[in-house]
Structure 1
Amino acid sequence: MPSLTDSLIVVSDLDGCLIDSHTQQWSAALPVLDSLREHNIPVILCSSKTAAETIAIQNELGLQGEAFIAENGAVIQLNDEWDDHADYPRVINGDTHESIRKVLEELRQSEGYKFTTYDDVDDAMIGELTGLTPKMIALAKLQEASQTLIWRDSDERLSAFSEQLNNLGLCMMEGGHFWHVLDQRGGKGSALTWLIDQYRQREGRRPTTIGVGDSPNDVTMLDVADYAVIVQGYSKQPVVVKNDNPQRVYRTQAYGPEGWCEGLNYFLGSSV
């Protein structure tokens, strides 16, 4: 089991984990967040949200300056103290949002696929779909290297669409509510692997990692992490990890921030 005295990093998804996906609240997680901060344990946010959204949430949570992974691994922000790093302040993995947007539009026009993206709808519709405030909606639209997609076609057409994207070097990932299209060079697992290596190089040892996620797009991150918390979620698809050893993986009973605390308490003890 990991310990609060280890060289430890917590890597966490946001919606459905640290943040309630229905209310967008995180107050239930604050006691554990405070304890991790007191023990100087970094909490690396790792989600489908944009860098702009993530920075705003970091400020709310008291995690300013920490590294983070945005847009499902397509964007990696480095720790503020790493301003001597060659890739500071952030790394973009693969194609840009604009490039991906053009590919999706071409496929929609040529093949007649039925889907809606954030670029297609107004702020009011995004607010209705997500429960985000006007301020956070504006930040959610600042995608740098991915596209958020609401599929409105059949499952058979989804498979064909996904295959075409794969042939073009892109991929689809299912989140808690939406699909996300990004370059195949992205992904939470590859982003976390790269970020762990940066910590190893700077600190002289590989940190122990606890990953926290609730949906299929978290799987690669959970596979890379030394320990995995799978928070009870709402995805139609199961969260299936490669190494499901009970000593490594804990599945919570509670949802959202309560489940987030439950999982970390399981691995780190109630003192956290």
Structure 2
Amino acid sequence: MGRLIVFSDLDGTLLDHDTYDFSPALPAIARLKERGALLVLASSKTAREMSPLYKALDLSPAPMIVENGASFVRAEQVAGVSVGEMDSYHKIRMVLAQLQAPFQGFGDMTVAEVSAVTGLPTEAATLAKARQFTEPGLWQGAPDALPAFETALAEHGISARHGGRFLTLSFGGTKAGQMAQVLKDHGPATTIALGDAPNDAEMIATADYGVVIRNDHGPGLPAFETEDRILRTSLPGPTGWADAVMRLLDQIPKDEGARLG
């Protein structure tokens, strides 16, 4: 019972994989707002990168889960998001310099290169490089050498998580872990979680209603132990997102997940 809270990945989920368009999802987002639900963006993107979308969708008072679950930003902090403390990011970059592995992180790329590899315009690519906690990038070595790289990172306390596009390095924190922190602030709640990649799996499995968005550009997600309460879309991106949310809103009783007084 309590408020309905929807946790959503961005790239390939709420946002089209190629164009970053979210317009097909707008009717479903409007219906969520009518119901008094919170929509929590949960992405590997930076806080500065996510803030324009958060404001465009008028998502206050929801927080944002940023940098693949390394942290979350409360609504009152969104307007003033800045690069801030970068110790975690600098430490990751130092370890990468020590290992000298064939991994190309955003810190190794120019703004133009980040733009090329992500499809983002220059201004957005600049925000994508403003990292505080994590380093996404591309493994450029032999596939069978990747486990050794991940083991070497783990010896320094760094985890490597596979997303829809990139391998993201961090000192811990997951979307599911931050989801629990959000619920401390905004619970009790009925939860929906939507995603398309392995780094979304824990968040999807943790929610009351999990949604796997069709992904034609990555490995997708295998069956869950709780597959009986997982909805898998036949359509990708924001079109599949909207269809799934509409179907769940028809299914979930209106007195379940209603706005608290």
Q: Show the counterpart of 1:126.
A: 114
What do residues 194-251 of structure 1 show as CA deviations (whole Å, max 9, x unaligned)?
2212223xxxxx21110000000101111221110100013543413643332x2100
What is the CA–CA distance in structure 2 between the aligned matches of 1:198 and 1:210, rounded to whole Å? 17
**What code does the residue aligned with 2:200 have?**
D
Correspondent of 2:17 among 21, 26, 32: 21
SS of the aligned residue for 2:10 comes to coil
Contact (CA 8 Å) 2:60, 2:75: kept in 1 or not?
no
Which amino acid is 1:251 matched to? R
1:88-237 map, 5 Å: 96-108=88-100, 113-184=101-172, 186-200=173-187, 206-237=188-219
Give the TM-score normalised by structure 2: 0.88
> Which structure 2 residue ranges, 5 or more long, are not aligned?
255-261
The residue aligned with 1:239 is 221
Contact 1:73-1:189 at 8 Å conserved across structures? yes
Question: Aligned letter for 1:118?
Answer: F
Offset at residue 30 of structure 1 (A)? 0.8
In structure 1, give the amino acid aligned to 2:177.
S
SS of 1:80's partner is: helix
Is the CA contact 2:196–2:220 (under 8 Å) kept in the aligned structure 1? no
Which structure 1 residue ranges, 5 or more long, are not aligned? 82-88, 201-205
Partner of 1:203: none
- TM-score normalised to structure 1 length: 0.85
More relative contact order, 1 or 2 (CA 8 Å, 6+ apart): 2
Q: How many residue pairs get matched?
A: 251
Percent identity of equivalent pairs: 31
- Asked if the contact 1:147/1:182 (under 8 Å) is kept, the reply is yes
Contact kept in structure 2, 1:176 and 1:234, CA below 8 Å: no
Deviation string 1:173-196 (CA, Å, 9 cap, x unpaired) is: 111111100112x11111111221
Q: Does residue 30 in structure 1 map to residue 26 in structure 2?
A: yes
Deviation string 1:18-58 (CA, Å, 9 cap, x unpaired) is 10010011111111111111222110000100011111111
Could you tell me which amino acid in structure 1 is paired with residue 32 of structure 2?
Answer: L
- Say which of 63, 66, 71 aligns to 1:67: 63
